[in-house]
Amino acid sequence: MMIWLLPIRLLEVIPSTSFGYITRSFWLIFSYLVREWQERVSNLLGYWGSPFALRVRSALKLKGIEYEYQEEDLGNKSPLLLQSNPVYKKIPVLLHNGKSISESLVILEYIDEVWKHNPLLPEDPYERARSRFWAKFVDEKCVPALVGTISKVGEELEKGVREAREHLKTLESGLDGKRCFGGAKIGFADVAIGWIAYLARIEQEALKIQLIDQQSMPVLAAWIDYVLEDPVMKELMPPHDKVFKHMIDMREKLIAVVSN
């Protein structure tokens, strides 16, 4: 049983007297404060430009959960990050009730389990499975293709773009006529995929390539517009110019490494 439920159970045995009224009021206030405390003892370790950290920040924002955010220097990772995620040593990491949860999709599921209101995953078991499937597809297929393209030039770049577009076209089929991957509103898969799509648009601008366009992927393009116009997503969106410069700098560094 969650801590905050205990005082509610005690209310059932407190007598209806003046003393009982005062006691019941005390327990109600105590219950509220404990629940508030439970929902606020959350810390998130992240990085401003990470789509994976932005996934978690979006989920917490959609749920209305307050938390402390700690920006990490990925070139000089904090002892807290290394201690909290000793296996991968990567962001994001959610710290809640003295425990650490890592890997963005795992964190999204955890958030949805702990804070039941405003659910991210659909109620229907099949739709829940579909949401998980497409989120995993993006991480296993689209992300490697998009990241790999950043370091390529010439024919290799053209080949990388074709591969990325094939995966994005497959992703488009997952919408299946719906406004969002989870149905009528932004949910688990939309949060997971939306930030990858946001960076893909900036990548195509930075590399002067065509990844997502209205002509060949009208449904996916319309979905991206819809998701990125959501108030929560817009509030968390990193500055375009900052992301663009970061993308160019990263490309130059990767090309230099590959060339050597």
The per-residue pLDDT for range 84-129, each reduced to its tens digit, is 999 999 999 999 999 999 999 999 999 999 999 999 999 999 999 9
For the chain, list the domains and their CATH numbers.
3-37 (no CATH), 41-114 (3.40.30.10), 125-259 (1.20.1050.10)
Q: Report residue 34's pLDDT band, with 50, 70 and 90 as the boundaries.
A: very low
- pTM for this entry: 0.84
Q: What is the dihedral of CA 135, 139, 41, 76, to 10 degrees?
A: -170
Q: What is the mean pLDDT of residues 194-212?
A: 97
Output the DSSP codes for 16-55: SSHHHHHHHHHHHHHHHHHHHHHHH-EEEEE-TT-HHHHH
| pLDDT computed for residue 40 by the predictor | 53
| Three-class secondary structure of residue 103 per DSSP | coil
Give the dihedral sign, CA 231/233/239/244.
negative
pLDDT at 8 over 90: no
* Residue 94, strand partner residues: 44, 101
pLDDT at 141 over 90: yes
**Nearest-angstrom CA–CA distance, 244 and 67:** 28
pLDDT at 1 over 60: no
Q: Out of 4-18, 22-36, 237-251, which region has the weakest mean confidence (pLDDT)?
A: 4-18
| pLDDT computed for residue 182 by the predictor | 84
pLDDT at 5 over 50: no
Type of residue numbered 152: K
Q: What is the mean pLDDT of residues 9-24?
A: 58
- Answer with the residue of higher pLDDT: 35 or 231: 231
Query: Residue 198: CB partners within 8 Å, gap ≥ 6?
Result: 51, 224, 228, 237
Q: What is the mean pLDDT of residues 187-196?
A: 98
**Nearest-angstrom CA–CA distance, 53 and 49:** 8
Structure tokens at 253: 């560094």
| pLDDT computed for residue 25 by the predictor | 65
Q: Out of 14-18, 21-25, 32-36, 170-174, which region has the weakest mean confidence (pLDDT)?
A: 32-36
